[in-house]
Amino acid sequence: MPVRIYFRGLILFRFPGPGEPDAGKLVAELLTEPPNRKPGPAFQPGQDDHDATIQVITGEDVRRLLPGNLARAQQLLPHTLNRRARVDITIPGCKGPVQRLKSFNEHVPKIDTLARMAGLTKDPGINPDDYLRATVVVDCGTIRVHDVVTWDNGFPLPGGNRGDTPATPAEVKFCGVQAGGHAANDCVLEADGDVVEISSPHDPPLHGSKWQSTRQRNQVGQENTTDILVENFEYQRGKPVPWGLDFQWLFARLGYGEADLGAAEVNAFKGEARKYDQVLLAQDESSMLQGTTGRPFPYIVSNQSLLSLTPIRNLQTGSPLTATKSRPLCVGGT
């Protein structure tokens, strides 16, 4: 009977060592735009604001609680975390320290390493706390990657056609450094035991609460499992965007300043991004990359970055399964 805690969105994962505060725990810092920014004229107010939420799923059905138990129903809905809130999640009976599996080490980029590759240095003029939205701390468990960046080609990338492929894993390149691959956008921490205790003084509806799976088959959660969803997304826009300039705030949270990312790559990125959607690029460019100076960020280079899928076919002949092979000759005319 496991506990699963999902982490999605702009999150800096920390694993404090012996002698540090929260040693042996997972410290997930949910980041957002700093206050009092002065972006360029194409910037849309609120476009980079991240909404940090947490939701507990035990198998209880909100619809069955209404209208008689409104308070309990509200507890099962996503909660927006107050700025600078800290949420401590304890799993009784589970022993630390938090462990990282191979998928986490291979698909979650290391910010300090990327910073060194890009030639970034610490900037004493940065207040790292300006970028902190909220913090979620978990005392034990094992974390792995649940999913990597995918792309829905209903919105074709440069070099592709609409609907050529379904949603497909996509390799990303980090601008300004020689680094790329399949990057995680959904991680899950798993631990034995389906009981969870939450402490969050800044969020009274959650503070001091205790949760346990219904241990019944249900429509909202896996049987015998308590799920917690921790999400930190910016607002959705007119269509998906195959780049993530706000990734730069992970560096700022660690105190790194900016550097020249290289005119050749930045201009090539902007050229391809402009082909995809010039309005969305102008908004993001105005916000976080007006020139060539910045911090590394991930982007999907082109349609060639998508994983090549195998179509359904006849395994003996190799021909498409949907091909017409056994009908009499049938020719039309006019």
pLDDT at 69: 59
Under 8 Å between Cβ of 88 and 137: yes
* pLDDT for residue 263 is more than 80: yes
Task: Classify the C-alpha dihedral 318-320-325-326 as positive or negative.
Answer: positive
Nearest-CA neighbor of 252 among 20, 31, 28? 31
> What three-state secondary structure class fits 163?
coil
Query: What percentage of the chain reaches a pLDDT higher than 90?
Result: 66
pLDDT at 291: 94
What residue spans of 55-110 are helical by DSSP H? 62-65, 70-75, 102-107
The CA distance from 276 to 271, in Å, is 9
pLDDT digits (tens, 9 = 90+) for 146-201: 999 999 999 999 889 998 889 999 999 999 999 999 999 999 999 998 789 999 99
pLDDT at 111: 98
| DSSP structural state of residue 116 | H
pLDDT digits (tens, 9 = 90+) for 31-79: 999 987 878 888 777 788 899 999 998 877 666 666 665 556 566 678 8
Please state the domain extents for the chain: 2-305
The CA distance from 141 to 192, in Å, is 8
pLDDT digits (tens, 9 = 90+) for 10-43: 999 999 999 999 999 999 999 999 987 878 888 7
pLDDT at 218: 76
Q: Which residue has the higher pLDDT, 314 or 33?
A: 33
pLDDT digits (tens, 9 = 90+) for 66-122: 666 555 656 667 889 999 999 999 999 898 899 999 999 999 999 999 999 999 999
**Residue appearing with tokens 């201009």:** 267
pLDDT at 64: 63
Task: List the beta strands (DSSP E) in the chain.
Answer: 2-9, 11-14, 26-31, 50-57, 79-80, 85-90, 99-100, 132-138, 142-148, 150-151, 168-169, 172-174, 180-181, 184-192, 195-199, 209-212, 226-234, 259-260, 293-294, 298-299
Of the pLDDT bands very low, low, confident and very high (cuts 50, 70, 90), residue 333 is confident
Global pTM reads: 0.91
Tokens of 162: 């609409």
pLDDT at 129: 96
